[in-house]
Amino acid sequence: MFLITIIIVCTLGVFGQPILQQTSEALSVLVPGSKLKPIYFVNTQEKKIAISFDATWGAEYTPKILNILEEYNIKTTFFLTNIWLKEYPDAAKTIRMAGHEIGMHSVTHPHFNQLSEEQMTYELQKNKEKIEEVTGFSAKLFRPPFGEYNNKVIQVIESLGYIPIQWSIDSLDWMEDKSKQDIINRVTKNLHPGAIVLFHNNGRYTADALEEIIQYVYEQGYEIIPISQLIYQDNYFIDHQGAQRLKKVN
């Protein structure tokens, strides 16, 4: 069992569901009836979003994605597995050299809900070590494979000092039946301040859709930044929708 020393403030959200307040200095604990959440999006009025890419298999389209990001001087967050790091170390180095943030995505891309605490810890720590070995980057953000999590998963991630990240806009670019226009529509029609957008580095039409999405985002007056620059680093809590909110100062 993990030893957790914490001061937690619990308030009631909509429909009387408990909301756990947490900061980078405090870990979540399980309150009966509650469901712990990763960060889906940031509650903000500022027109800023983060776009992210998960990488587990393939790298065919990654150079084109990086070229587009460079053209628009955009920095993003890439979540890498050890599977991908071992297969494409040079691509991983290129991503980092281009100034992009690296996040953890596990060693073997397993279903975390089915793992023991020890297995989860292995997947996290070995992933972090491999990222640092290959790219020199010390990762703090973790996105669970398949976007799958439960209370135990969130507690293990946070107990190791990492920040669990989900998404609020899913491009669905990994689906074979989705066209370039489908991907564009998924993102542009759901755009909102504080959004975290999910792409995959090797989606068939991801690179083709990316430039039009970026242009639309800019036309709407938004800025695109890495996830770590979008999220609050302390004095925050995650509500029942996965929104990261600043605590009110009395």
pLDDT band of 32, cuts 50, 70, 90: low
Provide the whole-model pTM. 0.87
Q: Is the pLDDT of residue 1 over 90?
A: no
> What integer is the mean pLDDT of 84-108?
99
Q: Is the pLDDT of residue 110 over 90?
A: yes
- Secondary structure (3-state) at 116: coil
**Residue ranges covered by each domain of the chain:** 42-232
Q: Is the pLDDT of residue 21 over 90?
A: no
pLDDT of 248: 86
Give the integer Cα–Cα distance in Å for 54 and 43: 23
Q: Is the pLDDT of residue 9 over 70?
A: no
* Side chain identity at residue 69, one-letter code: L
pLDDT of 183: 98
Give the integer Cα–Cα distance in Å for 79 and 95: 11
What are the tens digits of pLDDT across the range 48-58?
999 999 999 99
> What integer is the mean pLDDT of 112-125?
98
CATH 3.20.20.370 fits 42-232, yes or no: yes
| Secondary structure (DSSP) of 193-225 | TT-EEEEETT-TTHHHHHHHHHHHHHHTT-EE-
> What integer is the mean pLDDT of 142-152?
98
pLDDT band of 6, cuts 50, 70, 90: very low
Chain position carrying tokens 């970026």:
214
Q: Are 134 and 92 in contact (CB under 8 A)?
A: yes
pLDDT of 249: 76
